[in-house]
Amino acid sequence: MEEKKSVVARSIILGIAFIALGILGIIFRQPIVDVVSAILRWVVGGALIVAGIVNIILFVKDRSKVMNLIIGILSIIAGILMFIFNLIVWIIAIFLGVILLLDGGYKIKEAFAANKAKAKAWYVSLILGAINIILGALALVSPLRFGNTLGVAFIIVVSIVLIVSGIQNMVHGVMISKV
C-alpha cells in the first residue's frame, strides 16, 4: 500500500514539475536559446584554443611539423573569434543550409526520375525538395536569424514534450491510485 502511494505521489509531482518546466520553456524560450548558445560558444571556443595550444606544443617538440604550428595558430584565432562573435549559431546554420540545399536538389532529381518512371505522387518529392532548397537558401542568406529561429523552435518542441509527459505522469498517477 505504501509503495502504491509513493508511485502515485512521484507520478503527480513529476507531472506537475514537467508541466511547469514546459510552460517556463515556452515563456522563456529566447533567453534559454541565448544561454545555450553562449555555453556552446564558450565550450567550442575553449576547445579550439586548447587544441591550438596542443598543436603549438607539438610543433615546439618537433620543429619539422610545421602543419601543427599552422593548425595551432588557426585554432587559437578561431577560438578567440568564437568568444568575440556568436559564430556557433552561424556555423550551425550554414552547415544546415548546405545540407538542406543538397538534400533538396537530391529530392528534386529523384522526383524527376520518379515522374519519368510514371510513379504516382512523384510531385511530393518535388515539393519537399523545393521546400528544402528554400529553407537552405534562407539559412545561407541569413544564418543568424535562421539559427536563432531554429533554436527557438527546438526549445518550443522540447517544452511541448515536457508538458505532454507531465500530463501523462499525472494521468498515470491518477490511474494507479484507482487500482
- Within 10 angstroms of residue 87's Cβ, the number of other Cβ atoms is 18
The CA-CA-CA angle for residues 111, 113, 118, to 5°, reads 90
Indicate the burial class of 121 (C-beta count within 10 angstroms; 0-12, 13-18, 19 or more).
Answer: exposed
Domain boundaries, the chain: 2-177
pLDDT of residue 92: 83
> Would the pLDDT of 109 be above 90?
yes
- Within 10 angstroms of residue 45's Cβ, the number of other Cβ atoms is 20
- Within 10 angstroms of residue 100's Cβ, the number of other Cβ atoms is 22
pLDDT of residue 147: 84
Q: What is the mean pLDDT of residues 42-55?
A: 93
pLDDT of residue 105: 95
pLDDT of residue 85: 79
Of 6 and 52, more confident: 52
> Would the pLDDT of 134 be above 70?
yes
pLDDT of 57-83, one tens digit each?
Answer: 999 998 888 899 999 999 999 899 888
Cα–Cα distance measured from residue 5 to residue 111, given in angstroms and rounded to the nearest whole number: 57
